[in-house]
Structure 1
Amino acid sequence: MSFDFEMKAALETFIVESRDLLRDMEDLLLSLEHSDDSVDAINAIFRAAHTIKGSSGLFGLDHVVRFTHVLESLLDKVRDGDIPISSQLVAVLLPCCDHLGLLIDRIAAGELGDAIDLAAAGAQLHLQLGQFLDQKPDGSTDHGRLAHHRHDEANPASRTEGEAVDAGNWYLSLRFGPDCLRNGMDPLSFIRYLSTLGDVVHLITLSNDLPEAEDMDPETCYLGFEVVLKSNATKEAIENVFEFVNEDSVIRIVPPNSKIDEYIEIINALPNDDELLGEILIKSGVLTKNELETCLQLQKQRKENLSPEDRASQLPIGEILVKEEMLQALVLTAALNKQQQVKDSKARERQSIRVDAERLDKLIDLVGELVIAGAGANLRASKTADIALLESTSEVMRLVEEVRDSALQLRMVPIGTTFSRFQRVVRDVSMELGKDIVLEISGGDTEVDKSVVEKIGDPLMHLVRNSMDHGIESSAIRLARGKPAQGILRLNAYHESGSIIIEVSDDGGGLNKDKILAKAVERGLVAPNTNLSDREIYALIFEPGFSTADQVSNLSGRGVGMDVVKRNVNALRGTIDIDSEMGVGATMRIRLPLTLAIIDGFLVGVGTSSFVVPLDHVIECLELPKDNQDLDYMDLRGEVLPFIRLRHLFDIEGDVPRRQNIVVVGYGNTKAGLVVDRLMGEFQTVIKPLGRLFNHVKGLGGSTILGSGEVALILSIPAMTQLYTAQEQRKHLTSSMSVIGNSKQVQEV
């Protein structure tokens, strides 16, 4: 199967929308087990499955239609209350949702046919669905109906939505709108999909106002069809086939055994050859020859200019005219409704639009280059001392800043989508562990850069699984400790000081700091008798290979995972810390920047080097007191402020100026002072990666290009303070080991 360019674009839209629908289906399915009112959720799940099925039929993806058809039939019975909602039902529906996701992934990869491995998995899922479809009220299974269901799987046309009618010939008159092709719709795909509901007995292709060849537009649709469909489907099922083109197309559907005047309406509305249409009506069995002659005769009489008395005297014509007036009223009402639907649809289109991620990334890159170029122009203007030029460049920089903020806002997405995916993880892992755990989500509407959302999934997965495995106790232990049998895992997000905070909390047993410290001393990570704060002890679990688990499980206990979490968070210029209380629970708190592209920075200089401090971390600036020149701390309004001397940290050569400055920075509850030579003011900073060559350098968050063309390094305040703390701990550990060694030598002597 091959598609032209327009159909490929439509197929890509189908893939994106199907994935969105499947995510919604999974979220709704997970909510069924904990919701008292499930009517809306079931209806939404059914609509999602029905939309995927209908769209798949338009593209000739019959294997998706076949699988979804059985799923849709089951959901229809759930809607009607014939099948009760239960954990067992949800346990079957969730794998079906996963299977549809795999089918969509294969289609996205270019495999439009049914793969053997997925077909076998789909058949197995159909068996599980069949057990619910054929279950009697007493819980037993009707094997005869089950066998009939096997036949339905191979022939989806034999089962339809709603109440089925006796198999008969439906007459469909289809006139597709002129923009059908432009909208990515293939008229023939609708005919193919009709064949899944029954047998297309006859088909005539007609043209709608076909112009001369030189006046034809290759993107305009001139096609129409007269179709006879033999099916036992309901009218609703057949109408749903055309739900994507209803707004700009004319779709007429006449059920089997309809009255003659309904066919007359179609014939009267068609400008084509009546004899040709009559032939298909007779051959298909929709009308007999005598009935057709009656239709044509009544049509001829209708076209004559009859007086009101003549019309009233001819009862059949009078009845038809009365019905026509009613029909016109209905058509007028439908037209007004359709206009309103079009207006609503266009309004929704104005509210939101899909943008390809690559185009958005390209826009951000261009905005970044614009920021750099604007900074260069502003720097050169400042050297000219031209007031008018300075005012112009300042206005340009103000507009560039607004463009930057607007462009970055386009990349902001709510983190709730990422959080919702863990509903499934918590459900599956809790069943695997034999624990009763529920997930509570808050702050889902907190927005963050999409690049951050894409990269935070794996660290969150490790933290969630670790909390469920090590943090939350089994129901028996919880009850013995006076806790509820059901454990609670919480995901929360909020903004704070230009950062986003993501918390993974549980009401489990908490971290045993004595056990962690003893393990760290045993491994030589901490010197004996070292005085560490609780937070410093908890941070030891992020060391590579560190684990206090007594047993290794399928989920954790091997000492891998938590160090990966810290490494990934650091790569996002973020930090992670832990709060815990024995017997109460623990909270893993991740602090990340809102964006990874462009930030407001504060430019400082040390020697011949320039550094950018993220402005969100800057608290204040002050001059280094003369009596603190050789100290690593100072008294800041009654608070001890430790120093980080950038000259020593990065081994920068050159003479130390007589006057040095301190940039007071902080993140979370940590505060420190950066000792620098020069304060150079605020600076719009475009973040550039350092590359693999500098991956080993700690305390840096990237680089940027100054207006002068020089390169400045961007400081990662969280990573820098952690680096400084680690260096001080190593000094203390080395000093302690030296003292212990000297003591042993004295004892030996």
Structure 2
Amino acid sequence: MSFEDEMKAALDTFVVESRELLQDMEDGLLGLEQDEHPSDSIGAIFRAAHTIKGSAGLFGLEHIVQFTHVVESLLDMLRNEEIPVSSALVAVLLPCRDHISTLIDGIAVGNMEETPEEKIAGNLLHQQLHSLMQGEHADLRSDVITQQDQHQAQSSGGGVVDSGNWYLSLRFGQDCLRNGMDPLSFIRYLSTLGDVIHLITITDNIPAIEQMDAESCYLGFEVVLKSSASKESIENVFEFVREDSVIRIVPPRSKIDEYITIINNLPDDDELLGEILIKSGVLTKHELDACLKLQRQTHDQKDSTNHEAPIGEILVSQEMLQEPILNAALQKQQQVKDTKAREKQNIRVDADRLDRLIDLVGELVIAGAGANLRANKSNDIALLEATGEVMRLVEEVRDSALQLRMVPIGTTFSRFQRVVRDVSIELGKDIVLEISGGDTEVDKSVVDKIGDPLMHLVRNSMDHGIEAAAVRLARGKPAQGSLRLNAYHESGSIVIEVSDDGGGLNRDKILAKAIEKGLVQAGILLSDKEIYALIFEPGFSTADQVSNLSGRGVGMDVVKRNVTSLRGSIDIDSEIGVGATMRIRMPLTLAIIDGFLVSVGHSSFVVPLDNVIECLELPTNCGDHDFMDLRGEVLPFIRLRELFDIQGEVPRRQNVVVVGYGEYRAGLVVDRLLGEFQTVIKPLGKLFVHLEGIGGSTILGSGEVALILSVNALIKNCTRRAHQQNLQLANPSNS
């Protein structure tokens, strides 16, 4: 790989990691005002800005470094409690975060310098940052210093803090050199804070010379520093390498269990261990000699290469520390090891490679079905057993591959915290966002495509649904409006709800507007859900005024179109004065599903197995009716032969596949039931996308094409027809 290719790969990694850090930064800022103990959030926000600045400096991106440096300075003052958390502070930091994101986006497309517009925007933000830094800075700082002085006086008896021996155990990350960091520079800087009275270089991680990477860092240090500096000052020395290095700092006169934590992480080198214990003042030379003598005796008696247990036993037996302290130290050490092991198991996978894997698994499913079909025709028992085992393994591979693309939808939900905050300010409303079901998992391809529809629904609920504070108070509601995002699994689908506690949809107003626009005929009988669904028609709007957010009749039709393209549906529940809920149902994955294969005449159809409830024989007493008695309940059904105009002789015995979608049930009348079938979904061409009741196609093991039924569309068709019949029976004058 050429140097240019390596730089591009490194820049791509920088962009990806910076975007993740910026998302963490935004999440932290949005929750800052509500956090009763914001110190952890402030620290995370500071580290995100600091890491971006440092990484940008490695690539010579000075415009990002210069802008982020001022942001970092303000965050440092916030971290040191020199300025308080406030709405004004968050209102400035959020646009700063957005500006950094804009600069990062520029790097992603190859713009290594900022544009004049970006420079002007950055200067304006810098002015706001400096205003905050100069505002209450002096007064607050004096209070903080007084509190610190009082704390130091209490801890040192009212005098100056005595100089003591600090113990530092340093293990630098392997990428330290690649990131432009020199481990020895940190040691040199420590000498400015005090006297480095002891330094041991740890080289146990250095591999054999033929396996060594010249760009990797394998060094570690054990340092004894005599200094009167504060722990924070010493920690700040390693701020930039803390993320990927192991830095342990033990203050003077600490409890012995803190030293044990470090000791247990050292290599099994008795001479090194003893030297450190003596230099740190934990043991005397006489105690060390006795400890080593007993250790050698124990090692001769026990055939073991684990030196940690004998040393621990000796320290306890010699009453150099208590056994509970040793046990706690060892337990904590094991927890750290387990955590590190789990962290190392996480790897980044390019999305395109993952999509390619899913495609190959889909082809494997089709090929396996074909082999299994031919095995069934051969009547070879051994071959049938072999193909059956292959199909079982293919199914496991399919499930595992699909699981790789499953991600929690909470990441998408959390992004709307910023949207709700900004739109609330623009509308002059007080609205809070409540999120539930964020851990509900869904295919990444669905998550990527559902963001825009959710954006429209959220903004529409805030603008049209939730009333102004004065109106809410007049109606006996809290002044603060509530917007809720919820997700859960239901029958192989994911359901996403956008709810508000606003005024609800005005049924009569929507119907009148629809009649005025010619969308429905006057006097037609429609259910509430059918009337509410009219708001998704192109150009439809009941807004009295056009705002920056809505009122032009665009957006909601895009929502329906996008949801439909994902083989999903959307419906509305509403109550005047109480609120409304927009409910989206979509399949968990868009690639491979379990299906139930049926046939009508010479045509084959696949019903998504998650929608299948039961199968039964069509009663002979149904005649020409489109409904049947199912255990005392009326079940409407659809004859697929009539729906798709399939010719041929009707068999004497027909079957009904009872399917469900949400709260609705219906039956599909078919000729034959062919059993479960693993289905790879192939999208229909543009010419056929508007076919009602068809959700895609698949290839059978025989090479034939089968259509995948859209249960959602079929049930809607069935329930709409049944509803019209009921209304006509109830109001014969309108028929």
TM-score normalised to structure 1 length: 0.73
Q: Describe how 1:616-695 pairs up with structure 2 within 5 A.
A: 616-695=610-689
Q: Describe how 1:315-464 pairs up with structure 2 within 5 A.
A: 325-326=279-280, 343=337, 346-464=340-458
Q: CA, structure 1 residues 555+657, in 2 after alignment: closer, same or farther (shift >3 Å)?
A: same
Q: CA, structure 1 residues 627+216, in 2 after alignment: closer, same or farther (shift >3 Å)?
A: closer
Whether 1:240 and 2:249 are equivalent positions in the alignment is no
Secondary structure (helix, strand or coil) at the match of 1:620 reads strand
| Structure 1 position 598, deviation (Å) | 0.7
CA distance in 2 between counterparts of 1:245 and 1:531 reads 66
Paired position in structure 2 for 1:601: 595
| Structure 1 position 620, deviation (Å) | 1.1
Q: Is the 8 A contact 1:435 1:475 kept in 2?
A: yes
Whether 1:576 and 2:570 are equivalent positions in the alignment is yes
Whether 1:533 and 2:487 are equivalent positions in the alignment is no
| Structure 1 position 688, deviation (Å) | 1.0
Q: Describe how 1:707-722 pairs up with structure 2 within 5 A.
A: 707-722=701-716
Q: CA, structure 1 residues 217+499, in 2 after alignment: closer, same or farther (shift >3 Å)?
A: closer
The residue identity in structure 2 corresponding to 1:87 is S
Q: CA, structure 1 residues 732+77, in 2 after alignment: closer, same or farther (shift >3 Å)?
A: same
Deviations 1:502-537, CA, capped at 9 Å, x for gaps:
110000011111222222333333343333322222
CA distance in 2 between counterparts of 1:241 and 1:416 reads 30
Paired position in structure 1 for 2:541: 547
Paired position in structure 2 for 1:63: 63
- Which consecutive unaligned segments of at least 5 residues does structure 2 have? 141-169, 189-202, 204-208, 220-231, 248-274, 289-307, 309-328
Paired position in structure 2 for 1:33: 33
The residue identity in structure 2 corresponding to 1:678 is R
Secondary structure (helix, strand or coil) at the match of 2:607 reads strand
Paired position in structure 2 for 1:74: 74
Secondary structure (helix, strand or coil) at the match of 2:518 reads coil
CA distance in 2 between counterparts of 1:603 and 1:222 reads 57
The residue identity in structure 2 corresponding to 1:121 is A
Q: CA, structure 1 residues 190+12, in 2 after alignment: closer, same or farther (shift >3 Å)?
A: farther
Q: Is the 8 A contact 1:510 1:581 kept in 2?
A: yes
| Structure 1 position 362, deviation (Å) | 1.2
Paired position in structure 2 for 1:206: none
Q: CA, structure 1 residues 630+13, in 2 after alignment: closer, same or farther (shift >3 Å)?
A: same
CA distance in 1 between counterparts of 2:461 and 2:79 reads 37
Q: Describe how 1:77-116 pairs up with structure 2 within 5 A.
A: 77-116=77-116
Q: CA, structure 1 residues 246+465, in 2 after alignment: closer, same or farther (shift >3 Å)?
A: closer
CA distance in 2 between counterparts of 1:453 and 1:322 reads 53
Whether 1:705 and 2:699 are equivalent positions in the alignment is yes
CA distance in 2 between counterparts of 1:328 and 1:691 reads 76
| Structure 1 position 219, deviation (Å) | 4.9
Secondary structure (helix, strand or coil) at the match of 2:616 reads strand
Paired position in structure 2 for 1:283: none
Q: CA, structure 1 residues 37+234, in 2 after alignment: closer, same or farther (shift >3 Å)?
A: closer
| Structure 1 position 216, deviation (Å) | 8.6
CA distance in 2 between counterparts of 1:519 and 1:235 reads 69
Q: Is the 8 A contact 2:539 2:553 kept in 1?
A: yes
CA distance in 2 between counterparts of 1:382 and 1:344 reads 49
Q: CA, structure 1 residues 566+733, in 2 after alignment: closer, same or farther (shift >3 Å)?
A: farther
Q: Is the 8 A contact 1:176 1:223 kept in 2?
A: no
Q: Is the 8 A contact 1:521 1:528 kept in 2?
A: yes
The residue identity in structure 2 corresponding to 1:14 is F
Q: CA, structure 1 residues 524+111, in 2 after alignment: closer, same or farther (shift >3 Å)?
A: closer
The residue identity in structure 2 corresponding to 1:432 is E
- Which consecutive unaligned segments of at least 5 residues does structure 1 have? 141-174, 195-208, 210-214, 226-232, 249-320, 744-749
Q: Is the 8 A contact 1:527 1:733 kept in 2?
A: no
| Structure 1 position 177, deviation (Å) | 8.5
CA distance in 1 between counterparts of 2:476 and 2:216 reads 74
Higher deviation after alignment, 104-113 or 450-459: 104-113
Q: CA, structure 1 residues 63+3, in 2 after alignment: closer, same or farther (shift >3 Å)?
A: farther
Paired position in structure 2 for 1:478: 472
The residue identity in structure 1 corresponding to 2:472 is R
Paired position in structure 1 for 2:12: 12
The residue identity in structure 2 corresponding to 1:620 is E
| Structure 1 position 69, deviation (Å) | 0.9
Secondary structure (helix, strand or coil) at the match of 2:532 reads helix
- The partner residue of 1:493 within 487, 496, 501 is 487
CA distance in 1 between counterparts of 2:601 and 2:184 reads 72
Deviations 1:520-579, CA, capped at 9 Å, x for gaps:
333333343333322222222222222222222221122221121111111111111111
Q: Is the 8 A contact 2:596 2:606 kept in 1?
A: yes
Q: CA, structure 1 residues 222+660, in 2 after alignment: closer, same or farther (shift >3 Å)?
A: closer
Secondary structure (helix, strand or coil) at the match of 1:587 reads strand
Secondary structure (helix, strand or coil) at the match of 2:31 reads helix
Q: Is the 8 A contact 1:487 1:507 kept in 2?
A: yes
The residue identity in structure 1 corresponding to 2:90 is V
Paired position in structure 1 for 2:155: none
Secondary structure (helix, strand or coil) at the match of 1:662 reads strand
Cα RMSD, aligned residues only: 3.9
Q: CA, structure 1 residues 139+551, in 2 after alignment: closer, same or farther (shift >3 Å)?
A: farther
Higher deviation after alignment, 48-57 or 439-448: 48-57
| Structure 1 position 643, deviation (Å) | 1.8
The residue identity in structure 2 corresponding to 1:384 is S
Q: Is the 8 A contact 1:503 1:587 kept in 2?
A: yes
Q: Is the 8 A contact 1:7 1:185 kept in 2?
A: no
CA distance in 2 between counterparts of 1:444 and 1:180 reads 34
CA distance in 1 between counterparts of 2:654 and 2:404 reads 41
CA distance in 1 between counterparts of 2:336 and 2:636 reads 65
Secondary structure (helix, strand or coil) at the match of 1:453 reads helix
| Structure 1 position 4, deviation (Å) | 4.3
Paired position in structure 1 for 2:317: none
Q: Describe how 1:189-204 pairs up with structure 2 within 5 A.
A: none
CA distance in 2 between counterparts of 1:218 and 1:82 reads 47
Paired position in structure 2 for 1:562: 556
Q: Describe how 1:212-223 pairs up with structure 2 within 5 A.
A: 219-221=213-215
The residue identity in structure 2 corresponding to 1:365 is D
Q: Is the 8 A contact 1:426 1:437 kept in 2?
A: yes
Identity over aligned pairs, percent: 69
Q: CA, structure 1 residues 575+57, in 2 after alignment: closer, same or farther (shift >3 Å)?
A: same
Whether 1:117 and 2:127 are equivalent positions in the alignment is no
| Structure 1 position 714, deviation (Å) | 0.7
The residue identity in structure 1 corresponding to 2:121 is A
Q: CA, structure 1 residues 407+48, in 2 after alignment: closer, same or farther (shift >3 Å)?
A: same
The residue identity in structure 2 corresponding to 1:602 is F
Q: Is the 8 A contact 1:58 1:190 kept in 2?
A: no
CA distance in 1 between counterparts of 2:215 and 2:503 reads 67
Q: CA, structure 1 residues 395+237, in 2 after alignment: closer, same or farther (shift >3 Å)?
A: same
CA distance in 1 between counterparts of 2:542 and 2:115 reads 45
Q: CA, structure 1 residues 531+727, in 2 after alignment: closer, same or farther (shift >3 Å)?
A: closer
Paired position in structure 1 for 2:47: 47
Paired position in structure 2 for 1:198: none
The residue identity in structure 1 corresponding to 2:615 is C
Paired position in structure 2 for 1:200: none
- Please say which structure displays the higher CA radius of gyration: 1
Q: Is the 8 A contact 2:174 2:218 kept in 1?
A: no
Q: Is the 8 A contact 2:365 2:680 kept in 1?
A: yes
